[in-house]
């Protein structure tokens, strides 16, 4: 089975975001969440479908979703 990763997909206003989300799902994105207010769609997909995701009309960028940890207060480590 192919390992899946979480992705953040920035989209344009050229098309309805729900239409872009549907096309991304058809291209292999799973667990899709639409964040309409910020023109972002998140989900999980394997590396082998990235090019398909990037070719969906309306997609501006596909980036890995990496965790961010600011640490406890007064901590010198923020990542």
Strand, coil or helix: 11: strand
Q: What is the pTM of this model?
A: 0.84
Query: In sequence order, what DSSP letters do the residues of 12-76 get, joined into one string?
Result: -SSS-HHHHHHHHHHHT-EEEEEEGGGTEEEEEEEGGGHHHHHTSTTEEEEEE-------STT-S
State how far the Cα of 7 lies from the Cα of 35, in Å rounded to an integer. 13
Per-residue pLDDT tens digits for 13-46: 999 999 999 999 999 999 999 999 999 999 999 9
pLDDT classification of 79: cutoffs 50, 70, 90: low
Confidence band (pLDDT; 50, 70, 90) for 49?
very high
**What is residue 68's predicted lDDT score, i.e. its pLDDT?**
79
Structural domains in the chain, sorted by start: 4-64 (3.30.70.260)
For residue 65, pLDDT over 80 is answered with: yes
In the chain, % of residues over pLDDT 70: 95
Cα–Cα distances in Å, from 45 out to 29, 31, 77?
5, 9, 30
């Amino acid at each position: 089975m192919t390992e899946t990763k979480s992705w953040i997909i920035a989209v344009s206003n050229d098309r309805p975001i729900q239409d872009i989300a549907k096309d991304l799902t058809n291209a292999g994105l799973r667990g899709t969440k639409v964040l309409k207010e910020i023109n972002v769609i998140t989900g999980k997909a394997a590396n082998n479908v990235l090019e398909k995701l990037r070719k969906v009309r309306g997609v501006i960028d596909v980036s890995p979703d990496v965790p961010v940890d600011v640490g406890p207060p007064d901590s010198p480590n923020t990542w």
